[in-house]
């Protein structure tokens, strides 16, 4: 199949300069990177009945060889859950223990309990209406469908593992679960008082739309400290665990809000600890992990942190197994973003191909084969770009991408997903 090289963006051609053969050389030697990039690109078609195209073979072979498969994504699209479902189907025949997801352990437990039900979307919608902002990301219609499809494919033992902190509106369901766990009289009295405050805070947040009015961020620290003392005295193990989730979640959001306390680092360490605990309980587990793109880098991520992906890469190497890191982004289209407490998601459009700035998605799109179908996805096998000479001549963006991921998958268009339990998304 003939590849078109001349279409690479200006920034790619400018950066991929050649090294002079001598100090007085008049002509530079052309860089091998553009042609190698074109060779690393393969078409990939993602359909409800499976994957096809040359990229499907590359992906299936890489998945089959891996115990851990990580998807670094853009949240709240329709296309990534569709691709994830197909990756579940690739993994399931050789065993798929769990999907680790970017939500809290208790929120994941809620989704896990509903994902095999025919009315799972209605059940999650009811939960979201009762507990606004109680679930991160898996309040999306397409995510819930994907969870059900993966569970059906992987079998009855398949589980969702929530590794992250809980979400902004999680205090209500956490406090309910604590009270249902039969704490002693001191803890019960304290938790009952907090639950009343939570209901008032939720009503205020629904009226304003501001997450800062939710109990998790508006509660008085003295009240939480007094409740913590009571829980420590007679709350019991389950209540102490849940109260710890609540306070850790609050601390992460407060650090993020204030810009102090290394919120991202604290969050990454929490996810690593939680994942390690699951693996200790499930030796030899084969896991699909689905997180935002910054979390899944096998190297330092763009925030200059070793996040969950780096931990998984190191762990896999120590175990003598393989971890496959896949980034999935879109060239253009729309995504859904947070719109406020109890509010619809906001749909925002984007176009990385026509933007003036540099972007690997633009470079890959322009390097696409001339005879490729217009709606075809693209798979870039970044492992082919990791030779010393190629990395030396590659633009910094491509170099960081190739060191952070094994495979890049580019959808031609993203479509915003809808959020359950709220009205139709607004457009901005």
Q: Render pLDDT for 162-183 as a digit per residue (tens, 0 to 9).
A: 999 999 999 999 999 999 999 9
The pLDDT of residue 424: 57
Burial string for 140-163 (b: 16+ CB within 10 Å, else e) reads bbbbbbbbbbbbebbeeebbbbbb
- The mean pLDDT value for 4-11 works out to 39
User: What pTM was estimated for this model as a whole?
Assistant: 0.90
pLDDT at 417 over 80: yes
Number of other residues whose CB lies within 10 A of the CB of residue 123: 18
Cα distance between residue 46 and residue 189, in whole Å? 54
Q: Which of 19-23, 62-66, 351-355, 371-375 shows the lowest mean pLDDT across its residues?
A: 19-23
- Give residue 16's pLDDT: 35
Per-residue model confidence (pLDDT) at position 366: 87
Give the pLDDT confidence of 188-230 residue by residue, as tens digits. Answer: 999 999 999 999 999 999 999 999 999 999 999 999 999 999 9
What is the residue whose two structure tokens read 């009762």? Answer: 130
Of 98, 97, 87, 79, give the one whose Cα is nearest residue 143: 79
pLDDT for res 355: 85
In three-state secondary structure terms, 161 is strand
CA angle centred on 48, ends 333 and 42, rounded to 5°: 65
Distances (CA, A) of 331 to 59, 243, 318: 20, 42, 36
What is the per-residue pLDDT for 351?
95
pLDDT at 402 over 60: yes
In angstroms, the CA 156 to CA 150 distance is 10
What residue ranges do the domains of the chain occupy? 1-68+327-428
Beta strands in 93-175 (DSSP E): 98-101, 159-162
- pLDDT at 252 > cutoff 70: yes
* 366-to-11, 33, 252, 258, 407 alpha-carbon distances in Å: 12, 14, 41, 41, 18
Strand partners, 160: 99
């Amino acid at each position: 199949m003939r590849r078109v090289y001349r279409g690479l963006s200006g920034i790619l051609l400018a950066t991929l300069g050649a090294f002079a053969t001598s100090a007085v050389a008049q002509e530079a030697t052309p860089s091998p990177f553009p042609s190698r990039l074109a060779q690393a690109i393969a078409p990939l078609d993602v359909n409800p009945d499976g994957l096809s195209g040359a990229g499907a073979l590359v992906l299936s072979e890489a998945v089959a060889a891996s115990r851990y498969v990580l998807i670094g994504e853009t949240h709240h699209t329709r296309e990534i859950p569709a691709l994830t479902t197909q990756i579940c189907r690739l993994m399931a025949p050789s065993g798929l223990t769990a999907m680790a997801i970017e939500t809290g352990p208790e929120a994941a437990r809620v989704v896990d309990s509903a994902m095999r039900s025919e009315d799972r979307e209605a059940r999650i919608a009811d939960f979201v209406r009762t507990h606004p902002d109680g679930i991160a990301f898996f309040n999306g219609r397409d995510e819930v469908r994907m969870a059900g499809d993966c569970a059906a494919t992987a079998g009855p033992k398949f589980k969702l593992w929530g590794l992250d902190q809980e979400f902004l509106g999680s205090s209500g369901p956490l406090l309910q679960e604590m009270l249902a766990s039969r704490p002693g009289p001191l803890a019960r009295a304290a938790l009952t008082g907090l639950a009343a405050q939570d209901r008032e805070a939720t009503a205020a947040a629904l009226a304003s739309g501001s997450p800062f009015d939710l109990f998790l961020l508006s509660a008085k620290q003295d009240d939480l400290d007094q409740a913590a003392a009571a829980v420590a005295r007679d709350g019991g193990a389950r209540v102490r665990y849940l109260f710890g989730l609540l306070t850790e979640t609050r601390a992460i959001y407060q650090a993020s809000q204030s810009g102090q306390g290394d919120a991202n680092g604290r969050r990454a360490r929490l996810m690593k600890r939680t994942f390690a605990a699951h693996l200790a309980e499930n030796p030899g587990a084969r896991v699909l992990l689905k997180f935002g793109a910054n979390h899944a880098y096998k190297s330092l991520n763009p925030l200059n942190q070793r996040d969950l992906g780096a931990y998984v890469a190191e762990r896999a190497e120590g175990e003598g197994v393989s971890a496959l890191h896949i980034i999935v982004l879109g060239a253009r289209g729309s995504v859904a973003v947070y719109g406020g407490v109890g509010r619809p998601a906001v749909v925002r459009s984007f176009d990385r191909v026509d933007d003036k700035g540099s972007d690997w998605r633009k470079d890959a799109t322009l390097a696409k084969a001339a005879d490729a179908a217009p709606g075809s996805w693209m798979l870039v096998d970044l492992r082919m770009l990791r030779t010393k000479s190629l990395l030396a001549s590659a633009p910094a963006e491509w170099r960081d991408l190739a060191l952070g991921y094994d495979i890049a998958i580019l959808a031609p268009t993203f479509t915003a997903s809808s959020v359950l339990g709220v009205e139709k998304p607004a457009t901005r």
